[in-house]
Amino acid sequence: MRPIVLWDVMGTLVQDPFFAEMPEFFGMTFDELLEAKHPRAWVEFELGERSEEDFLVNFFADGRDFDRKRFVSTIRASYRWLPGVEELLAELSGIGVTMHAFSNYPVWYRLIEERLSPSRFLEWTFVSCMTGLRKPESAAYEHVLNELGVTAEHCVFIDDRVGNCEAARKVGIRSVLFEGVGPLRASLRDARAL
């Protein structure tokens, strides 16, 4: 039996606009954006505790105004597949591998879906804005296993963050640190997913 593959999305499947496009939109460096943004608004947006409108109104700690509609359009336009990932997803889907998104992300996952249609390959099952749980909290991983009705050994988790991979291992889920499609293919073969 092939394992269920759990995918982080940003920085693993899709280019994350947080590091380049967001700062560029505001004419800031990444460090300047980190300094100016509200300290909790993004996390609360990811957890589904803030609406998009509330998040945008509170984006900056000082409450400054900006063109919110243009900002969201810029973010939407920036979503793109990382090299080789779409082809890998198609290959896995083609051989019957069950795949789910397991992502810390707000309702903007719908913008990713509109632009790239990852649902051709995977289900948007475990997105933090719907579950109210974020990686690397152990409860997030336990929720995945409970909802899928499987043991940890039946899953492979792929993420670009070491801390999230370590947290998966602590609950017994095999995890792979994403460092590009080439190394990932080898890891998926080892896990018998490919």
pLDDT for 194 equals 83
pLDDT for 31 equals 96
52-81 residue pLDDT tens: 999 999 999 999 999 999 999 999 999 999
pLDDT band at 87 (very low <50, low <70, confident <90, very high): very high
Q: Please state, for a pLDDT cut of 90, what percent of the chain lies above it.
A: 98
pLDDT band at 8 (very low <50, low <70, confident <90, very high): very high
The C-alpha atoms of residue 170 and residue 141 are separated, in whole angstroms, by 10
pLDDT for 1 equals 82
103-135 residue pLDDT tens: 999 999 999 999 999 999 999 999 999 999 999
pLDDT band at 23 (very low <50, low <70, confident <90, very high): very high
